[in-house]
Amino acid sequence: MRAAAGWVQRCGAARLSRPLRVGSVPGVLNQGAAWNSASRRRYGVLPRARDAEEKAVLDSMMRVDHAGEYGADRICAGQMAVLGRTQAGPLIQHMWEQEKLHLQKFNEILAEHRVRPTVMLPFWNVAGFVLGASTALLGKEGAMACTVAVEESISEHYNSQIRTLMEADPERYTDLLQLIKEFRDDELEHHDTGLEHDAESVPGYFLLKTVIQAGCKAAIYLSQRI
Amino acid sequence: MAALIRGLRADRLVRALGSVAIQMGRVPRGNGSSRGLHRALVLRLADDSHRDQTVPPPPHHTHFAEQSCASDASSQQEHGHCHASHQDQSGEQEEGYETEEQLEARILTAALEFVPQHGWTVEAIAAGAETLGLSAASAEMFNNGAGELVLHFVEECNAQLAKILAEQHNRVQLGQTEKKETAEFLRDAIETRLRMLIPYIDTWPQAMSLLLLPHNIPESLKHLSTLVDDIWYYAGDRSTDMNWYTRRAALTGIYNTTELVMLQDSSPDFKDTWTFLDNRIQDIVNMANTAKQMKSTGEAVVQGLMGVAVTMKNLTGLNQRR
């Protein structure tokens, strides 16, 4: 009973393939083009959880992914704040737009499946902005190095999630797997873009990268749990 | 294939019951076997009463199960397993059999009738068990005693509220009812939930003190957070930032304080309580509005300051490129 009432959230282009629903529900409209391409789902990205344990695992995964995209959005904001009016501006803006789409998608998923967002969001807000801005102060190369480090962490994280889901039940999580794969490919593209634009030429690249990736690992660990 | 699935289900049930048994098994072994015997008696009673009403399971299955039951007379786990295997091996006749959790739920629901008389105690549970045709000793099945009765009641009330809210939501979806304002919705939801306490209001202080016992706190907090999450979800909250937390915290505060006010309210039909609730909801609505206003004021101020800064830079000629 509750299931029917609760899952009436609309999710972007899936609306096109679903029959018209009477009335409207408070929800987030997603007209994001990136997601249109892959949607055949009728019931939402996550399968309905069979028991509390599966729900906890899926919730934790979605929570940390949401936190990750939120952090990425703030990092890009920090980078734009410093380098927005330079030559690197359009490049960073383009990557920012893609991160915004990812964040929007995860916002929808969290709302639809009643997943609790992580408590650490205000911290990631500040920390992300400060990270983006401070590395951007090292110049365009610094910003690119930060991008490379973060995107490498995130793609590694997405890959481990894909592995977990594939090991559990690829059939059941088809849509979710497709989503994560698409996002991982986007992040890898950003990583490669960063490398192309002289990320490695920043002084102390190796140290910077290690520190940032350690921070990302800690962030992932915390966001999964709280 | 079907047998494999039944076997797997039985396995899960065994593990579930095993974990229950492990928790119960902290009692020294001597007690454990007498408890096991108690539970066996209860379960056999339940089994017998059901078996009278339904078609008996295929003979060779029953025979096999009873053999394995008889051979493991002292361990609680095996009794649970026996019960489970009875249930699983007569897969198609499941209506006549129930799990231990379902039986416990039925006993506790029956026990609620006796709460005004006995309070939230094991006596109430025993009286409830007797109405179901079980022996009063089956109340000892509940390790946590009266605490379990209170937690069961809270869980039932929350489930009922969720059902009511879902039905309302459905009606709004179908256009049969108007959508309520958030403040009104919250107010009605909390009032509905608190009205479920009215039949037990005299003994509710005792129940609240039971919920505050250290070993009951985790579960009672879990029920409270489920309740508040449900109410906000059906009120239309889809936030994914700190608002998620602040809203639920505010509603938890309102619910708890209103509950306390209700305990001391002697006005007809708890009129004062609902007035108090109204005022508290109005408070958070005002706070939310103030916060919004402050934010937009702050933004306007920042814009103004930026304007001043740019003007000063222009005046002093700092903005010119040389």
**Best residue of A1, A2, A120, A226 to probe chain B, by most B CBs closer than 10 Å:** A2
Closest to A5 (Cβ–Cβ): which among B173, B175, B242?
B173
3-class secondary structure per residue, chain B: CHHHHHHHHHHHHHHHHHHHHHHHCCCCHHHHHHHHHHHHHHHHHHHHHHHHHCCCCCHHHHHHHHHHHHHCCCCHHHHHHHHHHHHHHCHHHHHHCCCHHHHHHHHHHHHHCCHHHHCCCHHHHHHHHHHCCCCHHHHHHCCCCHHHHHHHHHHHHHHHHHHHHHHHHHHHHCCCCCCCCHHHHHHHHHHHHHHCCHHHCCCHHHHHHHHCCCCCHHHHHHHHHHHHHHHHHHHCCCCCCHHHHHHHHHHHHHHHHHHHHHHCCCCHHHHHHHHHHHHHHHHHHHHHHHHHHHHHHHHHHHHHHHHHHHHHHHHCCCCCCC
Predicted local distance difference test score (pLDDT) of residue B137: 87
Quick: pLDDT tens for B222-266.
999 999 999 999 999 999 999 999 999 999 999 999 999 999 999
Q: What pLDDT is stored for residue B98 in this prediction?
A: 79
Interface residue A1 vs chain B (CB under 8 A): yes
- Residue with the bigger pLDDT between A47 and B184: it is B184
Would the ipTM clear 0.85, i.e. be above it?
no
Rg, C-alpha atoms of chain A: 18
Q: Read off the pLDDT of residues A45-73 as tens digits, 9 standing for 90 and up.
A: 888 888 889 999 999 999 999 999 999 99
User: If one looks up domain A52-225 in CATH, what number appears?
Assistant: 1.20.910
Express each pLDDT in B308-320 by its tens digit: 999 998 888 876 7
A66 annotated among ligand-binding-site residues: no
Tens-digit pLDDT profile for residues B42-57: 445 444 444 444 444 4
The CA distance from B166 to the nearest CA of chain A, in Å, is 6
Instruction: Please give the average per-residue pLDDT across B60-82, as a whole number.
Output: 46
**pLDDT 10s digits, A168-206:** 989 999 999 999 999 999 999 999 999 999 888 988 999
Percent pLDDT > 70 in chain B is 69
Nearest CA in chain A to B248: A116
pLDDT of residue A195: 93
pLDDT for res B305: 95
